[in-house]
Amino acid sequence: MSLPPVDALVSDAVIDEPTASDKVHGRSPTRIAFERLRADKVAVVSAIVIAVIVMLAVLAPVICNMLGVELRAGEPSEDLNLATAYGLVGPPEQAFTWSHPLGLAPRTANDLTAEWLYGARTSLEVATTAAILSTLIGIVVGLVAGFSRGWVDRVITFVIDVCLSFPFLLGALALAAVLINRFANDLDQLDRVQFFSLVTVLTFFGWMGLARLIRGEVLSMREREFVEAARVIGVPTRVILFRELLPNLVAPIVVSFSLGLPAYVAAEAGLSFLGVGFTDRPSWGYTIVRAQSYFETFPLYLWAPIIGIMFLVMSLNPLGDSIRDAFDPRTRR
């Protein structure tokens, strides 16, 4: 029995070409993380809420012009009582009006809608600046401490432990008071000094956690092959730190920033409530300080900034948790 030639077998065979669905496309860890975030409904809703609040804060002057409201709706006067300060137009004594949707602030007659919008801008500005600065400091200190050996690592670790053991409220109240008394001789610079003192306080007490996290990650990576190879060929230390190690630390840095931002928003409001904050520009915390005396007669005055802080923090926290889960390769959802 003779076998058919090989060419005939090859010609008669049906060779299945791979379809588009059979092709495997490589995906980077960052792309996988963003796909997880898009599939997370909680993260999407939280991001939308945050985007709306940020847009309201950024476009505060435009929105105020569209609504026809101004931050200073009237002149402050010590002679104004509760009835004449805000009872003539808008809530709480009069019906709703578009001229002053949230009413007027007692004693100052500030439009509360404009005050809420500009207060959101101030709170986000302080929190974002402090979060960026503390993240940069934490990255640099953590990289140096984790990559160093000997006394440098021990000294940096000791400084981090000392700063972490210092009570936040006590240090914030003392440091802010010292900065304001030192630099606030010129009343024209008071607003800038208050902003600088708040950012300094939040940054000073906010970088240690990320520094310890980065140090631990660097300790686990500094003995790996790609770092040893860079050392052998004579790559400078700064290049190893910022080009070899830092790209592998994007996930913990993003997670730390996303979880730290709501903490800074709440801390700014808390410090303003304790008297360490702005007095010349509106902020949610400073509005709460002035509104607490009028809660029984004008509850909207207090609830407006509290609801804003609540929505912002309750959106940032779930978004931070979702980002942490998305960038964690061990998470499977």
What ranges do the domains of the chain cover?
41-327
Q: Residue 132: what pLDDT?
A: 92
- Contact between 114 and 71 under an 8 Å Cβ cutoff? The reply is yes
Give the model's pLDDT for residue 90: 61
Residue 189: what residue type? Answer: Q
Q: What is d(CA 321, CA 323) in angstroms, rounded to the nearest whole number?
A: 5
Q: What is the DSSP string of 91-105?
A: TTTS---TTSTT-B-
Q: What is the mean pLDDT of each run of 10 residues along the chain (333 residues)?
A: 52 49 56 79 88 90 83 51 52 68 76 87 89 91 86 88 83 73 65 82 87 87 81 82 81 80 81 73 82 81 86 83 72 50
Interatomic CA distance for residues 163 and 273, integer angstroms: 24
> Which residue type occupies 207?
W
Residue 182: name the closest of 159, 200, 164, 169 by CA. Answer: 200
Residue with tokens 């599939």: 39
CA gap 173, 179 in Å, rounded = 10
SS3 at position 111 = strand
Question: Concatenated DSSP letters for 160-207?
Answer: HHHHHHS-HHHHHHHHHHHHHHHHTTSGGGHHHHHHHHHHHHHHHTTS
* Interatomic CA distance for residues 115 and 89, integer angstroms: 17
- In this prediction, residue 81 carries a pLDDT of 47
Give pLDDT, residue 86: 57
Query: In the prediction, which pLDDT does 80 show?
Result: 43
Does residue 287 contact residue 304 with C-beta atoms inside 8 Å?
yes
Return the residue matching tokens 């304790």: 274
Pick from 319, 322, 270, 274: nearest CA to 54 = 319
- Give residue 330's pLDDT: 58
The sign one gets for the Cα dihedral 286, 289, 292, 293 is: negative
In angstroms, the first-to-last Cα distance of the chain is 60
**Are 190 and 279 contacting, i.e. CB atoms less than 8 angstroms apart?**
yes
Q: Does domain 41-327 sit in CATH 1.10.3720.10? A: yes
Which pTM does this prediction carry? 0.75
* Structure tokens belonging to residue 205: 């007490």
